[in-house]
Structure 1
Amino acid sequence: MENAFRVRLKQQVIPAILYLTFLSGFFGSTLAYPKLSYLFAYRIFLAFLFFLIFIDLMLNGIELKSFLNFSTFFLIGWCAYSLLSFLWAQDIKSAVRDQVFLTINIFVILIFMYYSKYLRWDVFENIILISFIIHLAVGYLEVVTDKHLWTSKVPLYNLHRTPSTFFANPNDFATYLVLYLPFILAVAINKSRNNFFKKWAAFLGAVLAIPLLILTTSRANYIGFLIALFVYFLLAGKDQKKSLLQYGAIFLVFLMLIIGFRLDFGAFNKAVEMIKIQISSLVDFSQTYLSSNVRRELLIVYGLSFLYDYLFFGVGSGNSRVLMEKVKQYTVNVELHNWFLDVLVCYGLVIFILYLIWIVYILYNLFKIKKSSNTLNPPTIPLISSISAFFISSISSSKMIEMRIMWFVFALSLFVLAKSKEEKGEY
């Protein structure tokens, strides 16, 4: 009876709670009572998951052989260095805050790796599709009614007809759309399944995501979206390319009919004009009113100057915003608005270089799986496309360390890599 409990805990209970944790992660603090906003569903499931894993490790021990690899060493090393940076951090409170986010998100990635044997890609895929459709439904509701969820900060900025769904602002929502659109495309063009409803739900989801992305006015994610599509098409097989072109043709014919009969009520022209304005603003470096580009330029300059002052060891976990407060009159913003710059400034040159190497390592191994006859081929293309877009899309959001959706992409990537090794019998 005791052995049966151990097996069931590892193979059924923990995976089930992990799926629920993954699902609730896409909806953040919205799934909470407003007066207890810090205690939302994701954190509750995550705490329960940690508790069950602790019991599992006590009963079954740790299987280190299948766990020790470059990713594990780097992630644990990053977490340890972040703790070490407390020694020279100016503000311990900010350091602790970011340390908590970093540690928890790294633990989530390690959990995906450790329990990969008992997890299934199709379940993750279904969760991503369901979450994506819910986000789209809420996004269009916000655009039509101009009312937002209680966690959104859009009303504070006086932005109208701008979707944010379960995120605090439109930029975060746009980043979510771009990072997860490749997974939705993968479902839509998957010829190995005959689930008509699921495939067309994914196709409609991919199409309907585009207007919402445009309405977010997130310039970096416009570019990220194009990168994701380009990489996906480049890596897709002949059948997948054919499906993409067929769906693209259907969409273009439908769009031409709508515009031709003026059933869009001028929305297309407005969207084109909005995109033109946003793209043209990329070259706006007007210093008379501190344009967004100038502020971001100043954030980079001051961020690197602080890094230099700390001899390239990093200013300490979460301390970039503390130092930027000193020059706020020049930059307006205190967040660096650039995830890669944030990693470099907070954690130093060594961690930054290792972080880039780690991402290249993931991409290289995903490419290897794609070229093989592995049964895990399907998720490799959306994962590579998502990570490729991430290099640009991560510039959009102000503070990426708090965004679970980013960490989930890497968790899914390492899950696929670990699962692939298991199938090859390398463990």
Structure 2
Amino acid sequence: MDRTLILKMIFVLGFLVTLVLSFFYSIMLIVPLLIGIFVFSCFFTLKQLAELTWFMLAIASFFGSILSIPGLESLFLYRLLLPVQITLFLLTWDDWSWMSKRTRTMLLFLVGWLASALITIIWTEYQGIAFRNVYFMIEAIYLLFTAIYYLKADKKIEWLVTITSGVMAVNIGIGLYEINTGLHLSKSGLTDVIGNAQFLPSGIFFNPNDLASFLALFLPIILVYMHSRTIIGSLYKGLLVIGAVYIIIETQSRIAFVLILVILFLLLLRYSWRWGALALLCIPFVLQLPGMQDTINQVNQTYTDKTNSTDLRLDITNYTWQTAKESYFMGVGPGNVQIELAKYFPAEEQNNDGAVSVHNFLLEVLANYGLLSLLFLLAFLFYLFYRSWRYWLENKEKKVKYLIPLLITLAFPFIAFASSTTLEKSYIWISFGIVLAILNQYDKRMETKDETI
């Protein structure tokens, strides 16, 4: 028998045996991962491997600790891929020619945001928490930076968006299962909840708000950037829209519900004002359908039965503002305001780390990192909004895809209120990365055009 064939058979059998053993000995799961990386390296160049691992990293970030090694919940696929991807990125780094001048300006604002936050570590009380918080800041900036680098063409964005649509379909499926059974994935924060809240969907995320925010951010991107030239493709998109809106309603996330309705209406209006007008005219008839009464009741409940939640968030906002003033707007240090808030609230309002989430990212930045850091972040957001607005105005064709950066940028402040911990939500930064990649592509084309004139 050919020696090469024997070696291939031994390799495949060894890989399968190791994979089976990993179900009994958790640590063995690392071996197939390393073997897989080695095999990929034989078929791809280092640059292609770096790009492939980034796409895997982006998708793995949505699942978080769900893709963890059994018994080692802190060691999950995203955490394993991150150092590998960083290493490959550094090894295949080219130069700065792929980044436009305007994109560099926006990233400099983020560097200022990070640098001013690092200064506050000098006087922070809980330095361990501070370093952990700064790590998430660096991770968020890295996701933005590398998204621009790897999504240099619309085709690459389409690949990412198409895969993400599968993640969305999985979340909708899990959400429907949760609504009907009251059962959740083990990593969900609703596993021990009883009563009506037990039937709220959280999908692969920790809580319902995160699921609703993910759906609201990525549904418009998927609708615009995922091609559907066949009837099956169009039907798939339609089912995603219906499923996503229904799941958002069931999460009882008020901000995400209003946000997704406004975004979908604007997209429809931009696609065809006739279809937009027809949609408005059809609303009264749709609301009269037999199956709509339960949905209407659910929406009413979302906006009328959450007085306690609203009061709690107002109290959190007041105490966060008080903490920011007591620090003379210099910041109490990265991640420390969440610990400070725990002094004002009972244990049942705190998370597993004994902290209280701010539910207002901009106010959280002010209290944690100080006024200077907030100004850098606001400069980034306002410049991003300006670039998105110009991107829409400068494209005379006014295709729907030119509206996406503006919609996502405008959605961010609202998502920052809905989500408990914006900084640690990688899906938010990846959506921002897609927006920056779109704008960077356009700016590079304009710069190249100006140079040839």
Question: Would the TM-score normalized by the shorter structure come out above 0.5?
Answer: yes
Match of 1:112 in 2: 147
Matched, 1:226 2:261: yes
- Which residue of structure 1 lines up, in the alignment, with residue 414 of structure 2? 392
CA distance in structure 2 between the aligned counterparts of 1:244 and 1:194, rounded to whole angstroms: 22
Matching of residue 302 in structure 1 with residue 302 in structure 2: no
Q: Does 1:401 align with 2:418?
A: no
Query: Which 10-residue stretch deviates more, 63-72 or 81-90?
Result: 63-72
Q: Tell me how far apart the structure 2 counterparts of residues 196 and 149 of structure 1 sit (CA, whole Å).
A: 33
TM-score, with structure 1 as normaliser: 0.83
Q: Give the C-alpha shift of residue 351 in structure 1.
A: 2.1
Distance 1:249 1:20 in 2: 43
CA distance in 2, matches of 1:360, 1:332: 34
Matched, 1:326 2:343: yes
Cα deviations by residue, 1:82-117 (Å, 9 ceiling, x for unpaired): 222110111111111111111111111111223443
Within-5 A mapping of 1:155-304: 155-158=191-194, 159-186=197-224, 194-233=229-268, 236=270, 239-242=271-274, 260=289, 262=290, 264=291, 268-281=292-305, 284=307, 291-304=308-321
1:347-358 to 2 correspondences below 5 Å: 347-358=369-380
**How much has 1:332 moved relative to structure 2?**
4.0
- Return closer, same or farther for 1:324/1:294 CA change in 2, 3 Å cut-off: same
- Distance in 2 (CA, whole Å) between partners of 1:215 and 1:293 is 18
2:151 touches 2:434 (CA, 8 Å); kept in 1?
A: no
Question: Residues 48 and 67 from structure 1, CA distance in 2 versus in 1: closer, same or farther, beyond 3 angstroms?
Answer: farther
Shift of 1:233: 4.7
Q: Is the 1:343–1:352 contact (alpha carbons within 8 Å) kept by the matching residues of 2? A: yes
Give how far 1:8 is off. 4.3
Write the distance in 2 (CA, Å) between the matches of 1:81 and 1:425: 31
Deviates more, 1:83-92 or 1:355-364: 355-364
Correspondence for 2:331 among 310, 314, 335: 314
Give the alignment's Cα RMSD to 1 decimal: 3.0
In the TM superposition, 1:355-370 aligns within 5 A as 355-370=377-392
Shift of 1:378: 5.0
- The 1:304/1:316 distance shift into structure 2, 3 A limit, reads same
CA separation in 2, counterparts of 1:223 and 1:203?
A: 19
Which is higher, the Rg of structure 1 or of structure 2?
A: 2
What SS does the corresponding residue of 1:27 show, helix, strand or coil?
Answer: helix
Q: What letter corresponds to residue 353 of structure 1 in structure 2?
A: L
How far apart are the structure 2 equivalents of 1:374 and 1:128? Answer: 29
> Is this contact kept in 1: 2:265–2:276, CA < 8 A?
no
TM superposition shift of 1:230: 4.7
- Tell whether 2:60 aligns with 1:38: no
Counterparts of 1:357 and 1:240, CA distance in 2: 34
Deviations 1:343-389 (A, max 9, x none): 22112222223322312221221232233449996544233223323
Post-superposition CA distance 1:310-350 (Å, at most 9, x none):
11122211111111122224994521122222122112222
2:46 corresponding residue in structure 1: 9
Report how far residue 293 of structure 1 moved.
2.0
> CA distance change for structure 1 residues 364 and 174 in 2, over 3 Å: closer, same or farther?
same
Q: SS state of the match for residue 317, structure 1?
A: coil
Amino acid at match of 1:323: E
Deviation at 1:51, TM superposition (A): 1.0
Structure 1 residues 371 and 124, CA, compared in 2 at 3 Å: closer, same or farther?
farther
8 Å Cα contact 1:227/1:389 also seen in 2: no
Q: Distance in 1 between matches of 2:56 and 2:281?
A: 37
Alpha-carbon distance between aligned partners in 1 of 2:235 and 2:279, rounded to the nearest angstrom = 10
CA distance in 1, matches of 2:401, 2:160: 10
- Per-residue deviation at 1:400? 1.4
Matched letter for residue 198 of structure 2: H
| CA-to-aligned-CA distance 1:231-263 (integer Å, 9 cap, x gap) | 4456x2xx444556678889987x57xx75x4x
The 2-side partners of 1:130 and 1:227 are apart by: 24
Task: Decide whether aligned partners of structure 1 residues 367 and 117 sit closer, same or farther in structure 2, where only a CA change above 3 A counts.
Answer: same
Q: Does the C-alpha gap of structure 1 residues 20 and 65 become closer, same or farther in structure 2, counting only changes over 3 Å?
A: closer
Inter-CA distance 411–374: structure 2 relative to 1 (3 Å threshold)? farther
Contact kept, 8 Å, 1:171 with 1:396, in 2: the verdict is yes
Identity value in percent: 23
TM-score (norm 2): 0.79
**Residues 27 and 332 (structure 1), Cα distance of their counterparts in 2 relative to 1, 3 Å cut:** closer
Residue 80 of structure 1 aligns with which residue? 115
Partner of 2:32: none
CA distance in 2, matches of 1:36, 1:247: 50
Count of aligned pairs between the two proteins = 397
Q: Is the 8 A contact 2:395 2:402 kept in 1?
A: no
Sort the Cα spacing of 1:185 and 1:64 in 2 relative to 1 into closer, same or farther, 3 A: closer
- Please give the residue correspondences for 1:93-132 in structure 2 after superposition, counting only pairs within 5 Å: 93-117=128-152, 120-132=156-168
Q: Where does structure 1 lack aligned partners over 5 or more consecutive residues?
A: 285-290
Corresponding residue for 2:96? Answer: 63
Partners of 2:324 and 2:370 within 8 A in 1: yes
